[in-house]
Structure 1
């Protein structure tokens, strides 16, 4: 591994050396006491130990269904922590899923002690707030990539109506986000028992998990909670954000479908809580946004509740209402929208309707401008099934993912220039091509880099991991390169300090504090290649993002 020392990293390296010395002390026992319970984990025999299925909150069932998370219940007997906890989904159908799903996993060096104070990486999975899309991610690969010098925490949180149903004062909004905060508070209380440093936590996430990172930044705009100290997020998602009042139609329609329509709100909620998960799932269809024709891809999502979420993401980050003075990484994939667009998109009208279904506030004028900014290269061969799919995917991918991520890079860079010299914002584009994905027309799809971040053998759905990422594959080197940057960032708050394998210096988003400074991001290429690329202001992606960011607030993003 190539080590690149910078002046800004010396204090971090000193801390690392002290932490490494602490590893020589007596090992943490596999039985760890977290006050309310004793959990017995297991050593894996490779220098890593794991504790699986740790409760960070009480089961959200019965009277706690649709309620904010509560403290976990106490157990007098030691609890085996060698199996993943159930994960949360919107609809049942898998034996691994349950409403009782508020669990987290901890992966730590076997030699870590309560005095080790190792950096901690907490990762929030995605799923559009409607599913747990990346459950049971195995943190072992990242711990080993760090030479056993970090701790990784992954978690489940409520999704669909269980996490994002609201009904004014009767049902507290954004319980899925509150679950995540509960898990972060758990880390602050107990991670030292596993060898972690609660004052050195890097928050990560992908897709809805990356959006969650942004929401936690907004919710702690004054930095008083101190639940994390840096962030690295893949494909931040800015979807349509409704107010509690605007989202009332979702609650009302579900009540009607379940036969729970009551004039008394408390009685309506009691009826809902009496229904089985299957009964709810059978009636929980995607209802179109008012003013749209078809149900959106993701109907249940965070709402503005005046408590946890008090503003639209674009407005909050434009006005400086977010936690500042922390180093951040935001990035996206080249074809982040390709996997979301249905095959039926075969005309300009289909494409526009698809965007309207996801962003109901969009106007005809705005659609007209988007049609000019995103011409269809396949228009000459239309009509043909799916011939506008690529165009719709480009619009959706940049509108929902890529341009919001770059906006966050801008927001942090601008405020850090003013308030915290030396704190940086880094951007990236994942352009690692897999032969099979390219042949299928997906290109480089949404959050495919998770396979590199955690390692291809550490995904719960290993059968769906691109073959090129496995050892001996054409993109095996990309795994080592990405893990090198991320481990460096987790340990030192700088992706360059410990980067590996001849990878390029990852320069900050702006090469200076002047308005004319170039925007630049790291380009991850096929086979582990890396380079820096500049994004021009007024052409190509820069021009398109400039427009999408300007209209984002009017689209309720």
Structure 2
């Protein structure tokens, strides 16, 4: 339980209570019968580590999130709460990688090898960052950030995603907004028959939904408008945004009015029961294979056993890479996701809110380092057959895919770099396939089916194309937003007005069936241009066809 009285507010989540009267100069907000005291720096005030759900510990482990109890007492909310229990892993780096590419890889993946400094099961906390001195009656637009990390790792306490920078920039351009972020359970998407029967699939997505409900109840106290919430994420966070759009028959319950997705769309996933082998392995590694009720055994097991079992599972950084044959991705559980998300799109189960969706040009490069030991055509065919189109009845389907993605390095990713960056004979080919299967083709599929039904803007980032081996790799657009770049201004304007334009350097047209145009971000003297979303059309169409027949 969290703090109903001051004596209970110690230990987990770093949410501490004090009976002392808060210092008058610190920002405060009242929620229920509690006073929350945050901190201010310059023009920005922060309220960090507020619990939004009951701690998922003890018998609530691997259960759906429960609404928090009414607040009372005093809370000192000046530090992020602990990150959720998660996998620690490291990417395999080819021996012939360049020093500049190695520096990027270590920056992107370095923290995943050790995990967060501060983690705990009691991790479901939310952070609210506002313009300093904002009135409770201001009704400012709100953006809720959902972090990525392959559904295996990630946290709100990440210095590279400083919400204060977003709020400060919004003040600078005269469109102040409120920034919110919330921890959700990663490395906790159990799947299998037992999970389906218990109705506890897709727990991290359910956590996000609960955080959105918290916003509806409490954001007004911080000066936010609950009717003006935009959900925003990158990578697994962007996929999460898209799945919040397709759940519940497309009825978003008034929880958000817009969506912004960086490198993530509704991608094809199969039934939750297909992951039974992964569940069985997890149960075995946690020491619960003897139990009649394995889920209950997992709830009662020492957290050290759970964490060890998580680390024993495969990951997005392992050889299987971005294939969802690994443990922790979302799945069609028949409840939160009643079907394969792409089929839900075809059924019209989509929240018809304005949206932005974009990709980086070389999405697959980072994820192809761990399988760079694949060097022949046959090895590529075997790999794709095992991890991406596992249930295809004959080899011809994979053979056609490989014809569309030839081994010629000049046609691989990083794209438009000729024979450069071919660190192995198949690296650029694998990078092209993996980037398109998981990121690029699902985005185009989604937008093609929704652009006549709702307002859509789309972009392609080709920034940092000169990064050795990696090109415009997955996540480079994050730097353009959190680092104060032009895409960040488009984001803020979209959150504030539902239109990314107005006093921007280039007008960003809407995406339509007859004119699928992209805001394209480039290096060099012309940083922005408008291009058509028609590249690799035959390959995208075939990828989509394959994965609709055989979801990941």
Q: TM-score range by the shorter chain?
A: 0.7 to 0.9
Change (3 A) 1:244 1:535: closer
Q: Deviations over 1:303-342 (max 9, x none)?
A: 2122111011211112211111x21110000000000012
- Of 445-454 and 244-253, deviating more is 244-253
Corresponding residue for 1:483?
488
1:59 is aligned, of 50, 55, 61, to: 55
1:530 is aligned, of 528, 535, 540, to: 528
Cα distance in 2 for partners of 1:553, 1:482 equals 32
Corresponding residue for 1:140?
164
- Of 104-113 and 245-254, deviating more is 245-254
Change (3 A) 1:204 1:293: closer
Cα distance in 1 for partners of 2:259, 2:224 equals 17
Contact 1:334 1:430 in 2 (8 A): yes
Corresponding residue for 1:398?
436
Q: Deviations over 1:69-112 (max 9, x none)?
A: 11224553311111011112423654312211111111111131
Q: How does 1:20-35 map to 2 (within 5 A)?
A: 30-35=27-32
Shift of 1:163: 6.3
Change (3 A) 1:230 1:241: same
Cα distance in 1 for partners of 2:348, 2:64 equals 28
2:137 is aligned, of 115, 118, 122, to: 115
Corresponding residue for 1:16?
none
TM-score of the two chains, using structure 1 as the length reference:
0.80
Cα distance in 1 for partners of 2:322, 2:134 equals 49
Shift of 1:397: 0.2
Shift of 1:214: 1.2
SS at match of 1:126: coil
2:179 is aligned, of 128, 152, 170, to: 152
Shift of 1:300: 1.1
Corresponding residue for 2:297?
271
Q: Deviations over 1:192-239 (max 9, x none)?
A: 111110001111111111111111111143435011101110011555
Change (3 A) 1:296 1:220: closer
Corresponding residue for 1:214?
242
Change (3 A) 1:36 1:303: farther
SS at match of 2:441: helix
Residues 1:300 and 2:328 are matched in the alignment: yes
Shift of 1:295: 10
Change (3 A) 1:295 1:211: closer
Contact 2:191 2:279 in 1 (8 A): no
SS at match of 2:402: helix
Shift of 1:262: 3.7
Root mean square deviation of aligned Cα: 2.9
Cα distance in 1 for partners of 2:181, 2:223 equals 16
Cα distance in 1 for partners of 2:409, 2:449 equals 36
Cα distance in 2 for partners of 1:141, 1:96 equals 23
Contact 1:293 1:357 in 2 (8 A): no
TM-score of the two chains, using structure 2 as the length reference:
0.81
SS at match of 1:119: strand
Cα distance in 1 for partners of 2:138, 2:410 equals 60
Cα distance in 2 for partners of 1:251, 1:449 equals 35
Q: How does 1:460-479 map to 2 (within 5 A)?
A: 479=484
Corresponding residue for 2:256?
228
Corresponding residue for 2:313?
286
1:355 is aligned, of 360, 371, 384, to: 384
Gaps of 5+ in 1: 1-26, 417-423, 456-478
Contact 1:56 1:72 in 2 (8 A): yes
- Of 106-115 and 90-99, deviating more is 90-99
Contact 2:367 2:431 in 1 (8 A): yes
Cα distance in 2 for partners of 1:351, 1:313 equals 27
Q: Deviations over 1:330-377 (max 9, x none)?
A: 000000000001221212233334433432435322211111111122
Corresponding residue for 2:425?
387
Contact 1:127 1:134 in 2 (8 A): no
2:270 is aligned, of 220, 225, 242, to: 242
Residues 1:346 and 2:375 are matched in the alignment: yes
Corresponding residue for 2:457?
426
Cα distance in 2 for partners of 1:434, 1:28 equals 47
SS at match of 2:130: strand
SS at match of 2:364: coil
SS at match of 1:232: strand
Gaps of 5+ in 2: 1-23, 89-113, 412-418
Q: How does 1:541-552 map to 2 (within 5 A)?
A: 541-552=536-547
Cα distance in 2 for partners of 1:322, 1:447 equals 26
Regions of 4+ moved over 4 Å:
162-166, 237-240, 292-298
Q: Number of residue pairs matched? A: 480
